[in-house]
């Protein structure tokens, strides 16, 4: 009688088949994921500008009757400004993390009040991945060329 040998391990053909299948899967998935990191950073900046910082600036305005000036800047959300107009009803800090957030590329958000685009409130923007004012900026105003 012939004894059947115990098989231990995989054959070369089986290993090559698994590698080929994995290669095909990677080739299908990677192109779909390319560029998603930049898209996620743009979405995070947009959320900061249109929701997170906008809400805290609105709370500041609700308490004090006006938004912080350009000179007071976003720092006014953390500590009561001492330069005019000094808010009489400051009830901060308005930011939970006790620090002014940076945009997803590590740059400061640009705050101007009164705004040049939003004259009745403020302009808030991120210069985007290049860090300079250009067409890739994320803003709180609508532009036809964006």
Task: State the average pLDDT over residues 107-133.
Answer: 94
pLDDT score of 146 more than 50: no
Q: The pTM is what?
A: 0.74
Residue 103 has pLDDT above 90, yes or no: yes
pLDDT at 18: 86
The answer to whether residue 145 scores a pLDDT higher than 60 is no
Quick: pLDDT tens for 26-43.
Answer: 777 776 666 678 888 999
- 3-state SS string for the chain: CCCCCCCCCCCHHHHHHHHHHHHHHHHHHHHHHCCHHHHHHHHHHHHHHHHHHHHHHHHHHHHHCCCCCCCCCHHHHCCCCCCCCCCCCCCCCCCCCCCCCECCCCCECEEECCCCCCCCCCEEEECCCCCCCCCCCEECCCCCCC
pLDDT over 60 (residue 144): no
Domain boundaries, the chain: 41-132
Mean predicted confidence (pLDDT) in 92-118: 93
Q: Give pLDDT tens digits for 50-101.
A: 999 999 999 999 999 999 999 999 999 999 999 999 998 999 899 988 899 9
Residue 91 has a pLDDT of: 93
Distances (CA, A) of 66 to 5, 63, 102, 113, 129: 85, 8, 23, 10, 31
User: Given a cut of 60, is residue 1 above it in pLDDT?
Assistant: no
CATH class in words for 41-132:
alpha beta
């Amino acid at each position: 009688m012939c004894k059947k040998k115990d098989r231990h391990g995989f054959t070369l053909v089986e290993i090559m088949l698994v590698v080929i299948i994995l290669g095909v899967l990677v080739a299908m998935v990677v192109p779909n994921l390319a560029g998603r990191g930049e898209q996620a950073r743009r979405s995070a900046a947009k959320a900061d500008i249109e929701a997170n910082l906008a809400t805290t600036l609105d709370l500041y305005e609700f308490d004090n009757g006006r938004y912080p000036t350009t000179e007071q800047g976003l720092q006014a959300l953390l500590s009561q400004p001492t330069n005019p107009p000094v808010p009489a009803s400051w009830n901060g800090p308005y930011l939970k993390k006790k620090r002014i957030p940076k945009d997803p590329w590590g740059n400061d958000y640009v705050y101007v009040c009164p705004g040049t685009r939003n004259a009745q409130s403020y302009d808030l923007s991120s210069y985007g991945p290049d860090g300079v004012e250009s067409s890739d900026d994320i803003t709180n105003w609508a532009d036809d060329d964006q």
